A and B are shown apart, each in its own frame.
Chain A
Amino acid sequence: MDRSRRNLLKAALAGSAALSLSGCSLLPRKSGFNPEQYSAAVGKPDGTFGVSAFGLNGQPLWVSPVATRCHSGCTRPVSNQLVFFERRPGWRFYVLDASTGKRLHNIEAAQGEHFVGHGVFSPDGRWLYATASRYEPGEGIVAVYDAEQNFQRVNTFELAGIGPHQITLHPDGETLAIALGGILTHPDYDRLKLNLDTMAPALILMNRRSGEIVGRLNPSHHQQSLRHLDIHPSGKVYIAYQHQGPRHEMPALLARMDHNRLTEIRFDDETQAGLANYIASVIAHPENDLVAAASPVGGTAVVFQGSTGKLMAKASIPDCSGVQALAGGDFLISSGQGKLVRLGAHQPAQDIAQLPLYWDHHLV
Chain B
Amino acid sequence: MQPIIRALCASTLAVAASVSFAAAPMDDPQSARTGWHPAIQSGYDLLAEETAQLAEHASRYCAAPDEQLRAQLEQHWRDAFMAWQQVRFVDFGPVENNNLAWQFQFWPDPKNLVARKAAYLTKSDQPITADLIEQSGVAVQGFPMLEYLLFDDALSGGENALPAPHSCAVLTTVTKHLASNSKQLSADWQSFKTPYLNTEAYQVSTLKSAMAALEILEERRLAKPMGLRGNGKRNPYITDAWRSGTSLLSVEATLRGLQQHFLPEFLKLLEQKGELQLAKRIQRQFDAALDNYPEADRPMTVLLSDDKAFRTLQGLYVDVSQLATLVNDQAAVALGVVRGFNSSDGD
| CB atoms of A58 and B9 under 8 A apart | no
Say yes or no for B26: interface residue by CB 8 A criterion: no
Pairwise interchain contact A192-B4, C-beta atoms closer than 8 A? no
- Residues of B in contact (CB 8 Å), total 61
**Other-chain residue from A4, A59, A273, A297 in contact with B215 (beta carbon distance below 8 A):** A4
The reply to whether B342 and A296 form a contact with Cβ atoms under 8 Å apart is yes
Query: Do B5 and A355 touch (CB < 8 A)?
Result: yes
Pick the contact of A341 from B15, B137, B341 — CB < 8 Å? B15
Is the CB of B102 closer than 8 A to any CB of chain A? yes
- Output the least CB separation between B325 and chain A (Å): 7
Q: Which residues of B contact A246 (CB under 8 A)?
A: 93, 96, 195
Query: Do B201 and A273 touch across chains, with their CB atoms under 8 A apart?
Result: yes
Asked whether B219 is an interface residue with its Cβ less than 8 Å from the other chain, the reply is yes
Chain A hits for B339, CB < 8 A: 8, 12
Asked whether B10 lies within 8 Å of A25 as measured between CB atoms, the reply is: yes
| A23 interfacial by beta-carbon distance below 8 Å | yes
Query: Chain B: interface secondary structure?
Result: helix
* B341 contacts across to A, CB distance below 8 A: 9, 12, 43, 319, 336-337, 358-360
Which residues from chain B sit less than 8 Å from chain A, CB to CB?
Answer: 1, 3-12, 14-19, 21-23, 92-93, 96, 98-99, 102, 108, 111, 113, 137-138, 195-196, 198-202, 205, 215, 218-220, 223-224, 229, 324-325, 328-329, 332-333, 338-343, 345-347
The answer, yes or no, to whether A194 is at the interface (CB within 8 Å) is yes
Could you tell me the distance between the alpha carbons of A190 and B333 in the complex, rounded to whole angstroms? Answer: 29
Is there contact, CB below 8 Å, between B14 and A19? yes
Q: Which residues of B contact A194 (CB under 8 A)?
A: 99
Judge whether A248 is part of the interface by a CB distance below 8 angstroms: yes
Question: Given A2-B229, A192-B138, A7–B325 Cβ distance below 8 Å?
Answer: yes
* A235 within 8 Å of B (CB atoms): no
Question: A321: CB under 8 A from chain B?
Answer: yes
Q: Closest residue of chain A to B339, judged by CB? A: A8
Q: List 18 A-B contacts (CB under 8 A).
A: A2-B219, A2-B223, A2-B224, A2-B229, A4-B215, A11-B329, A12-B338, A15-B333, A24-B6, A192-B99, A246-B195, A247-B205, A273-B201, A336-B342, A348-B16, A350-B15, A354-B8, A358-B341
Check A21–B11 contact: CB distance below 8 A.
yes
A232 contacts partner chain B, Cβ-Cβ < 8 Å: no
Whether B99 and A193, one on each chain, are in contact in the complex, defined by CB atoms closer than 8 angstroms, is yes
User: Is A22 interfacial (CB-CB < 8 Å)?
Assistant: yes
**Interface check A57, CB cutoff 8 A:** yes
Interface status of A67 (Cβ within 8 A of chain B):
no
Residues of A within 8 A of B200 (CB): 273
Q: Which of A119-127, A201-209, A282-290, A310-318 contacts B (4 or more CB under 8 A)?
A: A310-318
Known: A23-B9, A349-B15. A316 touches B343 (CB 8 A): no
For A50-63 the 0/1 string (1 means CB < 8 A from B) is: 00101001111001
Closest Cβ of chain B to A74, distance in Å, is 16
A-side contacts of B108, CB under 8 Å = 190
Check if A165 sits within 8 Å of B201, measured CB to CB. Answer: no
Q: What is the CA–CA distance of A321 and B342 in the complex, to the nearest angstrom?
A: 7
Q: Are A58 and B7 in contact (CB under 8 A)?
A: yes
Are A4 and B19 in contact, with the CB atoms below 8 A? no
C-alpha spacing A354/B22, complex, angstroms: 16
**Inside 8 A of A355's CB, which chain B residues have their CB?**
4-6
Write out the residue numbers on chain A whose beta carbons fall within 8 Å of the beta carbon of B18. 16, 19, 316-318, 339, 351
B329 x A351 contact (CB < 8 A): no
CA distance A27 to B22 in the complex (A): 25
In the complex, the answer to whether B342 meets A59 with C-beta atoms within 8 Å is: no
A299-B338, A341-B15 known; A247-B22 Cβ under 8 A: no
**What chain A residues lie within 8 Å of B195 (beta carbons)?**
246, 248
Question: What's the Cα separation between A9 and B93 when bound, in Å?
Answer: 26
Does the CB pair B5–A54 fall under 8 Å? Answer: yes
Contact mask A132-158 → B, CB, 8 Å, 1/0? 000000000000000000000000000
Minimum distance in angstroms from A264 CB to a CB of chain B: 21
A361 within 8 A of B: yes
Q: Quick one: which of B6, B11, B19 contacts A316, CB cutoff 8 A?
A: B19
Contact of B347 among A3, A12, A27, A117 (CB under 8 A): A117
Do B328 and A353 touch (CB < 8 A)? Answer: no
Chain A 198-221 against B: per-residue CB contact (8 Å), 1 yes, 0 no?
Answer: 000000000000000000000000
Q: Roughly how many angstroms separate A23 CA and B14 CA in the complex, as a whole number?
A: 13
CB neighbours of B4 from chain A (8 A): 52, 60, 63, 355-357
Q: Contact: A60 with B5, CB < 8 Å?
A: yes
A11 x B342 contact (CB < 8 A): no
A19 to B22, CA, bound (A): 13
Bound together, the chains give a CA A196 to CA B21 distance in angstroms of: 35
A9 / chain B contacts, CB cutoff of 8 Å: 341
A355 to B6, CA, bound (A): 7
Q: How far is the CA of A335 from the CA of B2 in the complex (A)?
A: 21
A-B contacts besides A58-B6, A335-B340, A359-B341, 7 pairs, CB < 8 Å = A21-B8, A52-B4, A247-B201, A247-B205, A248-B201, A299-B343, A355-B5
A87 touches B138 (CB 8 A): no
**B1, B5, B15, B196: most-surrounded residue (chain A CB, <10 A):** B5
Instruction: Name B333's contact: one of A11, A59, A116, A354 (CB within 8 Å).
Output: A11
Q: Is A188 an interface residue when CB atoms closer than 8 A count as contact?
A: yes
Kindly state whether residue A227 has any CB partner on chain B within 8 Å: yes
Min CB distance A234 to B, Å, is 28
Q: Which of B1, B12, B202 interacts with A248 by CB under 8 Å?
A: B202
- A192-B138, A296-B342, A316-B18 as given contacts; A25 in contact with B7, CB under 8 Å: yes
- List of B residues within 8 angstroms of A339 by Cβ: 18
Q: Is the CB of A247 within 8 A of B347?
A: no
Q: Which of A7-41 contact B (CB under 8 A)?
A: 7-9, 11-12, 15-16, 18-27
